[in-house]
Structure 1
Amino acid sequence: MIRSFLIGLVAGQRGITPLTSIALATRRRALPVALPLQRLLRNPFAAAGTAALAAAEMAGDKMKSAPDRIVPAGLAVRAITSAYAGAALAPRGQRMLGAAVAMGTALTSSYVGWRLRCAAMRRYGQTATGFVEDAIVLSTGIAVANPGLLARGS
């Protein structure tokens, strides 16, 4: 369940990154196809689409007009993507629990992350804090869904 929890932390900060992480793991065959629509994520166009959406979310986050992550639409996206990713990363037979763990973690960490980001922005600005947050979130999401990528480096 730790992977479901960690992907929930990722989703709390960036709503689309968990889906992109699952798409990468599915395309690499690091995750078995076990959920509806997961086979679609093996398609290069679908996987590229999730990456483009994640990049757009990250770029949009740097704009002054970007809504807070805790607006209802943002929380809804985080709930859906975290539940899907949490289920995909959970052991067989525990997918519902994995979805619930990831969703609860995502919604809770959205508020915590928002408060931390607001505090950091007062000192370092929106763009700098956004890039740091993006680097942490993207690398964590990829590592959680694709642990084999880290093992190859050692």
Structure 2
Amino acid sequence: MALIHSILMGAVAGMRSMTPLATVANAARMGALPADSGAPRLLAGPLASAGALAVAAGELAGDKMKSAPDRIVPAGMVARVATGALAGMALAPRHQRGVAALLGAGAAVGAAYLTFNLRMRAIDRYGQTATGAVEDAVAVGSAALIARSAAED
């Protein structure tokens, strides 16, 4: 079941690159990751958690701006792959962290293209701010539920 959490958190990275990292860092700080997780110790530090939360909040705010780059530009994809891999690894048992990182990164890429397409269609009808707010709620809510479920396994 652990690898499902890695895939799902990777998919969240496809929507919002920093939300999975902030969620996992906060869970690590609170000791709420699975017992044998593959999370690097650095994630559990208060500075790492606060920094990830600040960057994630900035991403949520910046996404609503007209000047925000598309999520599928190379820099955005690198960030999504990296955070999808790291968050996926953090939610899996240590002996599966390599596979979990690959699954998290792959899910991030697939979800980035899927959600980009959906968002572009929704923007035409509902506007950038409204669609961004809905996507934010889905990403943050999903990440919180995935982390909670992973901790319970």
Establish whether TM, by shorter chain, passes 0.5: yes
Q: Which residue of 2 aligns with 1:30?
A: 32
Residues 122 and 73 (structure 1), Cα distance of their counterparts in 2 relative to 1, 3 Å cut: same
Is 1:104 matched with 2:90?
no
Retained in 1: the 8 A contact 2:38–2:93? no
Unaligned segments of structure 1, at least 5 residues: none
Equivalence map 1:2-151=2 (5 Å): 2-31=4-33, 32=35, 35=38, 38-147=40-149
Q: Is the 8 A contact 2:6 2:89 kept in 1?
A: yes
Supply the AA of the counterpart residue of 2:81: A
CA contact (8 A) 1:40 1:46 kept: yes
Question: How far 1:25 moved relative to its partner?
Answer: 1.1
Q: Which moved more, 1:60-69 or 1:43-52?
A: 43-52
TM-score after normalising by structure 1: 0.90
Deviation (angstroms), 1:87: 0.8
SS in 2 for 1:93: helix
Do 2:11 and 2:111's aligned partners in 1 also have CA atoms closer than 8 Å? yes
Structure 2: tracts of 5 or more residues without a match: none
For residues 8 and 59 of structure 2, the distance between their equivalents in structure 1, rounded to whole angstroms, comes to 20
For 1:130 and 1:78, the matched residues in 2 are separated by: 17
Answer whether contact 1:26 1:33 (CA < 8 A) is retained. Answer: no
Q: After superposition, give the CA deviation of every residue in 1:84-122 in whole Å (9 maximum; x if it has no partner).
A: 111111123111111111111100110000000000111
Superposition deviation, residue 148 in structure 1: 7.6
Following superposition, the deviation at residue 30 of structure 1 comes to 1.2
Q: Which moved more, 1:67-76 or 1:138-147?
A: 138-147
* Structure 2 residue matching 1:146: 3-state secondary structure: helix
Identity among equivalent pairs (%): 50
**SS of residue matched to 1:77:** helix
| TM-score normalized by the length of structure 2 | 0.90
TM-align CA RMSD: 1.8
